[in-house]
Each structure stands twice: as structure tokens, then as C-alpha cells.
Amino acid sequence: MFTYEPIDLNDYVRTGEGGTAVSYTHKSRPSLAKLYNPGFEADRSREEFLTARAVYDMGIPTPRPYRLVTDGTRYGAEYELIPGKRSFTRILSEEPQRLEELSREFARRARELHAKQADTALIHPYKEVLRQFYLEKKLVPDSFGRQCLAFLDTLPDTATCLHGDLHIGNIITDGQRTLWIDVGEFGYGVPEWDLSLMWTICNRMNEKRAMELFHVTPETLKAHWDIFLPVYLGTDDPQELEAFTRRLLPFYAIKVPYVYDMANHGALPAEFFQQFSPLLPKV
């Protein structure tokens, strides 16, 4: 049984901040504590930690998870620190001329991840996570929820590995090793779950949020997507690229309310569902 061990933040230096958590580097040992923002329940960080352990045990390149931690108010976990690491977004913000190189490498890494079969005894099927969200949370209009559940029923039970939060901020390198990070949403299912989130980030993010989270402009994120997708799919045929992008839209519509609740603990404004509902098959 894993229990939360108290830590003293005087032993750490704050070194990063994302949409849901803050990271702290230990002053004297190579470890990184990630603490969820206030409002996140302890169970959330425990589930992430256990998933990270499972991902590490499957041989996915990711920092080693060490232990559950708390500062008395927030909950999280401590992980192996990779000295000298930079995320692909950090590299891109500092060396924008490497956009093509990084986007192509990210596409290769994403294809490699999606080619791996998950150990289904260790991690969860992603469509079932979303099914439970729509059955239990009741944060969307009933008609929209029925559309989402009907679409989920059409999807195959594939064991493809999914990162769950696929974007170039969640991959790091120290020049020798390249590792996936923030794998708490890792699961298995069709790759469109990963790619629809990445499409959303690259094509639907405003400038303030893009700079806060990724240190680059929305235009750079879109250019990254435009390089990434042909490499990932292995084609530069405009019709095939457009058809695949259209295929992502129902996955986008289903995933956005789930991600919004995760970050904001509540429902999207009602007007958003007028936009999302037409992206799903009618029931």
C-alpha cells in the first residue's frame, strides 16, 4: 500500500508550472516533486502515480516514479530527475529554427509509442475512462451525453498504447535519452484519442494560454502540427490529411469536456455544446 510521505518545500526549488500542477526540484538529490494544485483530491495523484509505475514497468521510456508526497495541503508524487533535460517546447522556444527537426522527431516518437501494445492488466482502456465520466459526472446536456456514449460504443477494443496527454511539452531530452513525462493519463485504445488532443492544442489555443503552457505562439503550434501530421501518417496527400483531421473531430468533442473538468473542476459553458454536438453522429 502506497501512502503519502510529507515533504518540506524548503528542501526544494520551484522549477515548473503546468495547467494542473507545480513541480519542485530537490536541492541535493536528483528528484522532482510534482504537486497538484489545491482542489485536486489525493486520489487523483495516487492514480497518476500508480499509472506512471505501470508505464515504467512496461518499458516505456519515462522517468522512474519514486513515491507519493504531500506538502500538507497539496498531493503529488516524486520522480527521477533527468539532469540537463529540456522539453521539446522549451527547446523550440529557445531555438525556433529547430521546428522542422523537433516536429519530425516528435512524429517518429508518437508513431513508435502507438505501435506498442499495452499490458492491459496494468493500465486502463481509455474509452472506459471517458464512458465513466459521461455516466457519472453529469456535466453535459443529456442529449450530448447520449451522443458521446453511442459513439464510444462504436470504437474497437484495441490495445494500442496511448499517452493520454500527447503534446510536445510532455517529451523531454537530455541529449542522450528522450523520455515521455506526465504519463498519468496513459491508457490504451485508438490513437485518435491522443491525436485529437494534440490537434486541439495546436489549432484551438489562444496566445495567452499557448505562451503560459508551451512558451510559443499559436502560429508555432499550428506549424508544428502541419509538419507533424504528414510524417506521422506517412503521406503528404492533402485529401488524406484533411480526411484524417475530420476523423479526429468527434474524438475532440468527447474529450474536451473531460479535460476541462480535470483542469477546472466543473462543466463547460452551455454554449460550447452547440459547437461540439454537430461533430458527433446523431442518435
Write down all domains in the chain, each with its CATH number in brackets.
Answer: 5-80 (3.30.200.20), 86-279 (3.90.1200)
Total Cβ atoms within 10 A of residue 118:
23
Q: How high is the pLDDT of residue 66?
A: 96
- Report, as an integer, the average pLDDT of 69-74: 94
Q: How high is the pLDDT of residue 40?
A: 75
Q: What is the pLDDT of residues 231-247, one digit of tens each?
A: 999 999 999 999 999 99
Grid coordinates representing 202 are 495546436
Q: What is the pLDDT of residues 149-195, one digit of tens each?
A: 999 999 999 999 999 999 999 999 999 999 999 898 999 999 999 99
Asked whether the whole model's pTM tops 0.85, one would answer: yes
**Residues 189, 40, 61: CA angle, nearest 5 degrees:** 45
Q: How high is the pLDDT of residue 105?
A: 98
Q: How high is the pLDDT of residue 17?
A: 81
